[in-house]
Structure 1
Amino acid sequence: MTIMEGAEPFFLLGGEKGVLLLHGFTGSPAEMRLLGEKLHQEGYTVFAPRISGHGTTVEELAKTKWPHWYSGVEDGYHIVRSVCKEISVVGLSMGGLLALKLAAEYPVNKAVSLSTPIYIADKRLDMLPLYRVLYQFVPKKRKSFAGIGSQYCVGYNATPLSSLSSLLDLIEDVDVRLPTIKTPLLVVQARFEHTVQPRSATYIFEQVGSTEKKLVWLEKSGHIVTLDIEREQVFEEIIDFLQNEKMTT
């Protein structure tokens, strides 16, 4: 199995506080790299695993379902836990769902949910069962970002519909667990993006059992907030949240 250039996992050894970074659906650790480097500069140990089926071929992704994705996240958690006294988790989109599930099931110091879907904007989802009969994959246009090199935009140009169906199953699994999450939570959402319905962020914020939580809206960004025009604001919000000693479990 060949990994796409730039899609490799990365580990940055820092101090005793660790952060697990989880990329999005059809993406790769590359989209979390700038955030990871920023966190490492602040003294954190950072690990961004390549989630199962990602960073290789769309055919490989089509062979996986969400339990495979989550199993790799659990492995990543234990890797960071083995070298750090405490661990926080930051997830983008699908990675946000996996981060929330992790926070519901494992000791996590803090959790950050970026562009995490509960409601997906694509109106064709109602036709997904029919589409799956007709097509195995659908084309996916990857966005470029001003001032961001291609090495940070590594992912697939198509979506396996079987995997998309499993993503919807993951949403259902996480949805019922939200009230059990007590971890301090930061939710970040672009108000005008077109992949996730922004009301997803409000729903997550209201449903989680966390008493310490914060919701941040972005006015100029699209879905991939770790690379888009307000990325520095996102990084600052995350660092401030992680460093705020008042918001701890």
Structure 2
Amino acid sequence: MKTYSGSTFFFPHSGNRGVILLHAYTGNSNDVRMLGRQLNRAGYSVVGPLFTGHGGDPRQILKQGSPDNWWDDTRMAILNLRDSGVSQIAIFGLSLGGLFATRALEDDPGLVGGGIFASPITTWGASNVPEYFPKLAAAHYRRQGLAPELIEERLYWLEERLPDQLAAIQQMTKGLDQHLDQLKRPFFIAQGGQDEVIDPHSGAQLRDRLVAQGTPVDYHFYPNASHLLTVNTAHRQLFNDVEQYLKNLFEVGNDK
């Protein structure tokens, strides 16, 4: 059975407006490809980088991936989009990708705006990733037709090493939380009410933090949606909400 592992994509468009879309910890660039296509049709150049270690055997996420490497991937996506002639850039991320989109918005004043989809900026340590990731890995190996004993061996390897990487991500997230005051531009937040991976209240908690410090927030709650907002039942509404946010964002930017 073929596994669609995803790859970095670039959908160019005329003009100088662009969007970067970052995928989830347990996924790949296919998480955000549909959204990328819609935004490209709406007039934006769109980049969706594949994070280091993703797109194949889940063990490679732990062998090759790290917060430092994924941050390098994010910065390279920004640089490459700017090098293509795009000067007005917004950046969004799904779950893990949202952490790096937020970091980029804290660190890079040249970005126009952006935000997160189901991303636990202030509550990473309370996520269900330690249970969720091995289940997805097991499903991946079963699709490959691996023998049960080999699957068990690989899952044991994953479960032994996963806590260290999640701790490194959590440490980075604490830094994001400490620098939320750097977020001045309009910030988009999307959260599903049936999220099985993170606390469904985490989006509203972040909204309240940002609003209290004066950051403009465009908050969207999808009561019946699960974690992967870009591909689940909420995706059509999410795509429309992102489009409207971008339209407003770039209109404001042009007024300045």
- Per the normalisation by structure 2, the TM-score is 0.79
Whether 1:19 and 2:23 are equivalent positions in the alignment is: no
CA RMSD of aligned residues (A): 2.8
SS at match of 2:136: coil
Q: What is the CA distance between 1:192 and its match in structure 2?
A: 2.3
Partner of 1:96: 98
Q: What is the CA distance between 1:29 and its match in structure 2?
A: 0.2
Q: What is the CA distance between 1:123 and its match in structure 2?
A: 7.5
Partner of 1:77: 78
- Counterpart-to-counterpart distance in 2, 1:53 and 1:167: 15
Q: What is the CA distance between 1:121 and its match in structure 2?
A: 8.2
Identity %: 22
Q: Deviations over 1:115-165 (max 9, x none)?
A: 01132586878xx8xx9xxxxx962238x9xxxxx9xxxxxx967333222
- Per the normalisation by structure 1, the TM-score is 0.81
Q: What is the CA distance between 1:210 and its match in structure 2?
A: 5.5
CA contact (8 A) 1:110 1:183 kept: yes
Partner of 1:32: 32
Counterparts of 1:222-233 in structure 2 under 5 Å?
Answer: 222-233=226-237
Distance 1:79 1:123, change over 3 A: closer
CA contact (8 A) 1:112 1:238 kept: no
Q: What is the CA distance between 1:81 and its match in structure 2?
A: 1.4
CA contact (8 A) 2:183 2:215 kept: no
- Length, aligned pairs only: 225
CA contact (8 A) 2:116 2:190 kept: yes
- Counterpart-to-counterpart distance in 2, 1:238 and 1:52: 26
Whether 1:170 and 2:188 are equivalent positions in the alignment is: no
SS at match of 1:19: strand
- Counterpart-to-counterpart distance in 2, 1:69 and 1:12: 21
101, 121, 136: which one aligns with 1:141: 136
Larger Rg: 2
Q: What is the CA distance between 1:181 and its match in structure 2?
A: 0.9
Higher helix share: 2
223, 227, 236: which one aligns with 2:240: 236
- Counterpart-to-counterpart distance in 1, 2:127 and 2:58: 23
